[in-house]
Amino acid sequence: MWVAFLTVENASAYGTVNTGWNACFKSDRTKEIHVMVQGMYCQACSYKLEKQFKKIAGIENLTSDYKTGLITFRMMPGKTVSDEEIKKLVKDAGYAVREIKHVDVPAKAEKK
């Protein structure tokens, strides 16, 4: 996380002044989306669902675990996906969503 202070007096040296909150605060957190899927019981199920989720523009860090029924992913900066879109993808693949969670995680955390 970083914080920058820019006064009007020295702003001209930097060319522009952004007075919004984002001008002085950059978050080191991001959202990871956890989707609990009912009916995902084998690797073929997991593959089928991953294929569906890859249709989402801007998806990254996609993982699925058929043993737990959990799909996790993040969205690239500036990209979004609604819970309704997620539910439709899962339904179109022949499964049901049990739960969707949006979890704060460190932005630089890598999946192992």
Sequential DSSP letters for 33-96: EEEEEET--SHHHHHHHHHHHTTSTTEEEEEEETTTTEEEEEE-TT----HHHHHHHHHHTT-E
The distance of Cα 48 from the centroid of its chain, to the nearest Å, equals 20
Q: pLDDT at position 28, please?
A: 56
Q: What is the pLDDT of residues 40-81, one digit of tens each?
A: 999 999 999 999 999 999 999 999 999 999 999 999 888 999
Q: What is the pLDDT of residues 5-45, one digit of tens each?
A: 443 444 444 444 444 444 444 455 678 999 999 999 999 99
Q: What is the CATH T-level fold of the domain 29-106, as seen in this structure? A: Alpha-Beta Plaits (3.30.70)
Q: pLDDT at position 111, please?
A: 53
Structural domain spans, the chain:
29-106
